[in-house]
Structure 1
C-alpha cells in the first residue's frame, strides 16, 4: 500500500479553504487572497463544498438555505444544542473525514500555510495536522464576531480574530494561540464625504434629503425582511433601502408592499453604503464589517436564529453595533444612530477596527506564521478506515448532514427524526443520519 500523501512547508505559497455557504466566508477569503497576493505570495483558493464526495456540497448549500427559510426554529435548536455540547457528533465527523483525502490531494505540494475561513474546513485541516499528514501550519480566520465552539478545531495552530470579544470566546472554547488582528474588507468600503454621498444617491435613484436605512439580509435574503422593511417605513425615522441578494422573489414582494427602493443582487455595495445613513442587518456577518469600514453605523434587528443572534450580542458587547431587541425602541435608536451621539460613537468604534497598520493585520499574521511555522504537532493515531465504506444516501436537502457540513457541526445528538423531517418538510433526513438511529450511532463513513 502506498504511503499516505503529505503536504509540507514551502516559502511562497498559501492555500485558503472556504465554503460557498452564503457569501461571508468566501468574501473574507477573497480579501485575504488579495492581501496575500499583494505581499508577493502565490495563493490557491478552494471551496470545501466542491471537495465533498458524491455531490454532497450542493446538498449542503441547498439544505442549509432551505432550513433557514422554512424552519429557522430548527436551525436555532441545532445551533444551541451543538453549542452546549461543544461540537459535533458522529455524523458530522464521518462527513468531514470523507473530505480529508480530497482536500489533501487538492493542496499544492509546496503549500507553506493553509488558512480556513469556514468551521468545517478548519476541522478537516486540523485532523490532517493531528495525523501528521499536513505539516504546513493551519490558521483559522474567524469571520464572525461570535465564536461557536465548532470554529475551534483541534490541530489548528493559530486562530485570528477581528476583535477582543471573539478572541476571548475562541480561548474559552479551547483555542490555544489566538491573535487579534482586525477584520478584512474590500478597500472600496471606506468613509465618504457629502459630495460622494450625493453622487451615490443619484446613481441609485435615491432621495437626497431623506434619512436612508440600508436593510440587508445576506446573499440569500433570509429572515423577516418584509416585516422589518415595513417597520422601518412606518416608524417614520428612515426610508428603507432593501437589498435582497439573490432572492429576486423577495424584491418583487417588497415592491408589491409599497417599498419603493428594493434591489436584488447589487454589485456596487460600497456605493450603496455611501448613499445610506445607517445599516440594519440580521446576521452580523461580512456586511457588518464592510459597514464599519465605510463609517456607517450599524443596528442589529430581528436577527435570524443561531449565529445571527449570537453575533448581535457580540457586536453589542464590543460596542460597534446597536442591538434593538424591542420594536418600540426602533425609531429612537435609528434617530440616535443617524443624528445622535450613539451614531458618532459607533462610527468611531467601527473605524477603529480597521485602524491597525498593514504590519498588524490578518495577512501580516498569516505571513508571519507562514515564514516561521508553528511548533510541530505530535501525530495522533488515525482510526482504521473501512475497506468498503457504506455509501451515504443523499437527497437535495439532507437536513442533518447538510447543516452538519454547512457549519461544521454534528446534529446527531441534538435532534430527533420526526422533528427534523417535519422541519424541512419533505422527509429529507436519511436514516443513517437520524439521531438515535443505530447506524448514526456507529458513525459510519460516507
Structure 2
C-alpha cells in the first residue's frame, strides 16, 4: 500500500447522467474497499462552463433534431488516431484547470469515465508519472477512448477488448470487467410503495423509460396498446420530463395497470420487478438491464454509439430494435408470450451480464497500483510546485 491513504481522481462529464453514475459507483466501491480519498471532477464544466453548456445543448439537440448527422459524425470519426489534429485539440481542453486540480488534490491515480484525455499531454508537459485508467462506458469503442498514454482499460465485452488490441493496445492493459453500476443493482427488490404493491402478479410487467432524451415518439400509443391486452401491466418512468408525466397521468393515470413515475432514484428496484424494458440504448441503462436480467427492447435508437450499442446486443440475441410502435408491440408479444424464447434470452443475458463490475475494477486497481508488489507503487507521488 502507498504510504498514507491513496488518493484517486475520477474525471467524468455531464453529457447525460451515465458517466456521473459510473463515477459514483466507482467511488462507492473504493469506499467499501477502504480507500476514502476519492475526488470527482467534471473537467469541462469546471474549466469551460460556457463551452460546456453550449456543447451539452448541441449534443442533446443533435439527438432530437439531427440524429442522422450526429450518427454520421460519430461513425466518421470512430477510428481516428490519437495524434490527429481533431483529437489533439479535443484532448487539450481543460489543461490549465486540470493542472490546478492535480496540484491541489495530488492524486495517486487518474480514472476517466468519459474520454476527455487531457492527462497524457499534461504528463508529457510536466514530467509527472501518474497511472491513467479509462473505463469505457459503452458497448461500442470510439477513437476518443484510445490513447497510448493510458495504462489500463476496463471494458464491457470481449469484443471491445479485441477492438482495443486491433488498435494497438497491448492485451495485458485491458480487462473485461463490465460497466460499473451502483450497488443496488443485482439485489433483491426492497421498494414497497403503495403503487408497486398493486402490481398484478399474473401479468407481465413492462418497464418503459419514457423520459430518455425527451418525449419518446408514440409513447402514449405504445402504453395504451399494451394496457389493452389482458396479460401486461406498464411501469412508465418520465425522469425529469414533467410535461410528459403530466400528459401520461392525464390520459392513462386512472388505468389500474398503469404505474407512472417522474424522476426516481430506485430504478434498480423497478427493473427487478419487471419482465422487460423499453428504452434508449445508453451504455449504463443497458448494463443495468443486463444485471437485472431484463430482455431489452430498444426504441428508435439514435445513430452513433446508441445504435451501435443496440446492434451489439441484438447480435447476441438479447435486444430487439424497433422504429415504430407496431413493430415494438409485435416484438414484445413475440418474446413475452413465448416461454421457450424467453428462456433462451435469459441464457444469453447470463453470458454477458457482469454484476460485480465496480468491485472487479477497484480490486484490480488496488492489486495493480496500491499494494507493495505493484510495479508502480511508490512512484506515483507528485508535485507541481
TM-score range normalised by the length of the shorter chain? 0.7 to 0.9
Q: Determine the C-alpha separation between the residues in 2 that align with 1:356 and 1:72.
A: 31
Write the mapping of 1:152-191 to structure 2, written as runs, cut at 5 A: 152-176=146-170, 177-190=173-186
- Is 1:97 the counterpart of 2:99 in the alignment? no
Gaps of 5+ in 1: 1-7, 376-446
Partner deviation per Cα, 1:233-275 (whole Å, 9 max, x = no partner): 4264744432222222232344456475443211221222233
Aligned Cα RMSD in Å? 3.4
Number of residues paired by the alignment?
361
Report how far residue 84 of structure 1 moved: 5.2
Q: Determine the C-alpha separation between the residues in 2 that align with 1:347 and 1:114.
A: 36
Report how far residue 280 of structure 1 moved: 1.4
Report how far residue 356 of structure 1 moved: 7.4
Write the mapping of 1:94-173 to structure 2, written as runs, cut at 5 A: 94-107=89-102, 108=104, 110-120=106-116, 123-131=117-125, 133-173=127-167
TM-score of the pair, normalised by structure 1: 0.70
Report how far residue 75 of structure 1 moved: 1.4
Match for 1:52 among 44, 47, 52?
Answer: 47
Match in the other structure for 1:274: 272
What SS does the aligned partner of 1:98 have? coil
Q: Determine the C-alpha separation between the residues in 2 that align with 1:28 and 1:308.
A: 17
What SS does the aligned partner of 1:135 have? coil
Report how far residue 299 of structure 1 moved: 2.3
Match in the other structure for 2:73: 78
Match in the other structure for 1:411: none
Q: Determine the C-alpha separation between the residues in 2 that align with 1:87 and 1:257.
A: 51
Distance change >3 Å, CA 257–CA 165, structure 1 → 2: farther
Write the mapping of 1:142-291 to structure 2, written as runs, cut at 5 A: 142-176=136-170, 177-190=173-186, 192=188, 199=192, 202-203=195-196, 206-216=199-209, 221-222=212-213, 225-231=216-222, 233-234=224-225, 236=229, 238-255=232-249, 258=252, 260-291=258-289
TM-score of the pair, normalised by structure 2: 0.80
Q: Which is bigger in relative contact order (C-alpha 8 A, separation at least 6)? A: 1
Gaps of 5+ in 2: 378-385
What SS does the aligned partner of 2:218 have? helix
Match in the other structure for 2:305: 307
The range that moved more, 361-370 or 251-260, is 251-260
Q: Determine the C-alpha separation between the residues in 2 that align with 1:351 and 1:228.
A: 29
Match in the other structure for 1:368: 367
